[in-house]
């Protein structure tokens, strides 16, 4: 089973366009299609965590029916829109100003706090992991964050795909400090007729890191059944 990981635009080593016009659904679909073609894949599964990847599922839902074999949400923010305010817990709402500020000190503090709140008991994760994640997040500047969080999306094709049978696996922890994942389950997951929801007791926002074996087991079972 070939796994392909890529950085969405304005993240990691992908391009960092400055203008809002470069953050349309069509642009994100083109990115994904280019990766799929480049690795000669057909009908892939899409797995994404939080904002990074899962909002893209809403873009890709505009592709013809059957393009995806299934979607895997991991602590997912399903689409950009009003749902963000409903899902964001107080800690995440408090962090947003620091994530979009140009003030270097405030921005770094916000990114450290953001990383620390992804892992419950973050000190147990190891210093190296925390430094690595903060460094990666610091590479995403204020303009990148603002463009990613304010781009326009239409979730209706995603809902339609769910009603038509597109497979969905929704994994989240019940101790997520950043997102109220029950909102996504209620507003989005319930629209999928072919779905499985896995709630991991004690899992934080980075549930894939804290409960790696359980998450991997669920994913493998989902894509092979």
Residues of the chain with pLDDT > 90, as a percent, come to 84
Which structural domain, as residue segments, surrounds residue 33?
A: 20-89+153-224
Inside any domain, residue 103: no
Inside any domain, residue 55: yes
Query: Per residue in 199-223, pLDDT tens?
Result: 999 999 999 999 999 999 999 999 9
Those residues with Cβ within 8 angstroms of residue 202's Cβ, 6 or more apart along the chain or in another chain? 120, 173, 174, 175, 210
- pLDDT (average), residues 157-170: 97
Is the model's pLDDT at 66 over the cut of 80?
Answer: yes
From CA 202, how far away is CA 204, in angstroms rounded? 7
Is the model's pLDDT at 124 over the cut of 70?
Answer: no
The alpha-carbon radius of gyration of the chain (Å, integer) is 17
Is the model's pLDDT at 54 over the cut of 80?
Answer: no
From CA 75, how far away is CA 135, in angstroms rounded? 21
What is the per-residue pLDDT for 202?
A: 95
Is the model's pLDDT at 126 over the cut of 70?
Answer: yes
Instruction: Place 129 in a pLDDT band, splitting at 50, 70 and 90.
Output: confident
Quote the number of domains for the chain: 1
Single out the residue of 157, 148, 29 nearest to residue 77, CA to CA.
148
Query: Per residue in 19-35, pLDDT tens?
Result: 989 999 999 999 999 99
What is the per-residue pLDDT for 123?
A: 62
Instruction: Place 91 in a pLDDT band, splitting at 50, 70 and 90.
Output: very high
Residues of the chain with pLDDT > 70, as a percent, come to 97
From CA 152, how far away is CA 96, in angstroms rounded? 18
What is the per-residue pLDDT for 125?
A: 64
Phi-psi region of 81 (alpha: psi -120 to 50; beta: other; left: phi over 0): left
β-pairing, 195-200 vs 167-173, is: parallel
Inside any domain, residue 15: no
Instruction: Place 114 in a pLDDT band, splitting at 50, 70 and 90.
Output: very high
pTM for the whole thing? 0.94
Inside any domain, residue 205: yes
- pLDDT (average), residues 136-158: 93
Nearest 5°: CA angle at 115, between 216 and 73? 35
Q: Domain holding 157: CATH number?
A: 3.40.50.1820
What mean pLDDT, rounded, does the chain reach? Answer: 93
Inside any domain, residue 189: yes
What is the per-residue pLDDT for 121?
A: 76
Inside any domain, residue 143: no
- pLDDT (average), residues 25-54: 92
What is the per-residue pLDDT for 189?
A: 94
Nearest 5°: CA angle at 178, between 215 and 188? 65
Inside any domain, residue 36: yes
- pLDDT (average), residues 92-113: 95
Phi-psi region of 6 (alpha: psi -120 to 50; beta: other; left: phi over 0): beta
Single out the residue of 204, 196, 200 nearest to residue 215, CA to CA.
200
Those residues with Cβ within 8 angstroms of residue 70's Cβ, 6 or more apart along the chain or in another chain? 45, 46, 166, 167, 168, 169, 222, 223
């Amino acid at each position: 089973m070939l796994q392909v990981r890529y950085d969405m635009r304005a993240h990691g080593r992908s391009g960092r366009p400055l203008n809002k016009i470069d953050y349309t659904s069509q642009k994100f679909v083109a990115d994904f299609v280019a990766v799929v073609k480049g690795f000669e894949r057909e009908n892939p599964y899409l797995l994404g965590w939080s904002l990074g990847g899962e909002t893209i599922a809403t873009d890709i839902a505009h592709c013809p029916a059957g393009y995806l074999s299934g979607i895997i949400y991991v602590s997912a923010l399903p689409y950009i829109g009003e749902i963000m305010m409903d899902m964001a817990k107080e800690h995440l709402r408090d962090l947003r100003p620091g994530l979009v500020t140009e003030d270097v000190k405030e921005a770094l503090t916000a990114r450290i706090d953001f990383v620390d709140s992804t892992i419950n008991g973050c000190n147990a994760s190891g210093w190296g992991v925390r430094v690595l994640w903060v460094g990666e997040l610091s590479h995403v500047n204020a303009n990148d964050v603002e463009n990613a969080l304010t781009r326009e999306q239409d979730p209706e094709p995603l809902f339609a795909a769910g009603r038509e049978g597109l497979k969905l696996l929704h994994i989240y922890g019940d101790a997520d400090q950043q997102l109220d994942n029950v909102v996504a389950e209620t507003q989005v997951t319930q629209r999928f007729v072919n779905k499985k929801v896995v709630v991991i007791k004690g899992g934080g926002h980075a549930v894939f890191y804290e409960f790696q074996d359980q998450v991997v087991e669920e994913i493998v079972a989902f894509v092979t059944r």
